Amino acid sequence: MLVGKIRQYYSLRTTITCFSLFVCSGAAALDHNVSLSYSYPSAVQNIDIEKVELTYSTSDYSISEYLPIYLYPLLNIGQLQTSGGDGEILGAGGGVNYYLNYSLRLFGEGGVYWLSNYEFGEPGVAFKDYGGPIQFYYKVGSSFALSKDIEVGLAYQHMSNANRYDINPALNSIQLSFQYSF
């Protein structure tokens, strides 16, 4: 099963290459952060669903001289992988960091996703319909710095279409992430 998942990740190779070129072309004064995350539903679904996501963010910007609170922009690419088919994800949003100390931070993120496919499975058998291609998400979690450039994190994420379509099923998931800063 793991070998099959690894093969699916290679299907995103061209997108990730373009994304990497975008990251490398950024302003030299900004720090860059790339996070690779894996999500699975926090509740039982009628089809198997997993999400793999690559997130790019620049350095965070202080909003207070006295508090360790920082804002940052986000760009996302990824893939929803289900037993009834796969679909690509493109997204953008923003986040806020609160640093408890040099190693531990709490964060919240939110934004919008565009899904290339939002219907998975076979109607009447095992089917998941997210209603439409535009989805909104928020995420809350924490991360721990293993070194100056590497963090691991755990988060809870909610994704839904905010009642933009006739149906509005949500995907609530637990997300494990690995972040590299350069």
Query: Residue 168: is it exposed, middle or buried by C-beta count within 10 angstroms (0-12/13-18/19+)?
Result: middle
3-state secondary structure of 13: helix
Domain hosting residue 109, numbered range: 2-181
Kindly state the tokens that stand for 101: 């100390």
Q: How much is the pLDDT for 64?
A: 86
Distance of CA 93 to the CA centre of its chain: 10
Domains: count for the chain? 1
Other CB atoms closer than 10 Å to residue 48's CB: what's the count? Answer: 15
Backbone angles phi, psi at 111, to 5 degrees: 170, -160
CATH number at residue 146: 2.40.160.20
Q: How much is the pLDDT for 65?
A: 86
Q: What is the mean pLDDT of each run of 10 residues along the chain (182 residues)?
A: 50 52 45 96 93 94 90 97 95 96 96 97 90 98 97 98 95 98 92
Give the span between the Cα atoms of 14 and 8, in whole angstroms: 12
Give the span between the Cα atoms of 13 and 85, in whole angstroms: 18
Q: How much is the pLDDT for 56?
A: 98
